[in-house]
Amino acid sequence: MKINTPEDLDLTIAAARFAALGSEQRLAVLRSLVRAGPEGLSIGELGTRTGVTGSTLTHHMKILASAGLVTQAKQGRSIICAAIAYEEVQGLSEFLLNECCADSPSPCGDHDHG
């Protein structure tokens, strides 16, 4: 029986979140929600901004919500979608870069990370 270490769990979570972002449409949806801030957007406005509507948008929101990146909440007669995982999204980039150059003879300062 394999015992999962914290590093394995981090890898599993990061893989699930990267998989959720593995679609141009889902990435566009998350990006629009991040731009909208904590107030979020109605499902209709989100569809207008991204060009993703109907059952396709519902499908993508379900995947992003399962990865813990967004929420949906009924507010009156509207559904408000919001990005909730700003720290998690930042954590994904840190996941990739926190061991930068660990196995390289060149120091990290020699590389441009954006």
Q: What is the pLDDT of residues 59-98, one digit of tens each?
A: 999 999 998 899 999 999 999 999 887 777 777 777 777 7
Q: Is residue 20 within 8 Å of 67, Cβ to Cβ?
A: yes
The CATH label, of 3.50.40.10, 3.40.50.300, 1.10.10.10, 1.10.1040.10, for the domain at 24-98 is 1.10.10.10
pTM of the model: 0.74
Cα–Cα distance between 92 and 55 in angstroms, integer?
Answer: 28
Instruction: State the pLDDT confidence band at 12, using cuts at 50, 70 and 90.
Output: confident
**Sequence spans of domains, the chain:** 24-98
Q: How confident is the model at residue 18 (pLDDT cuts 50, 70, 90)?
A: confident
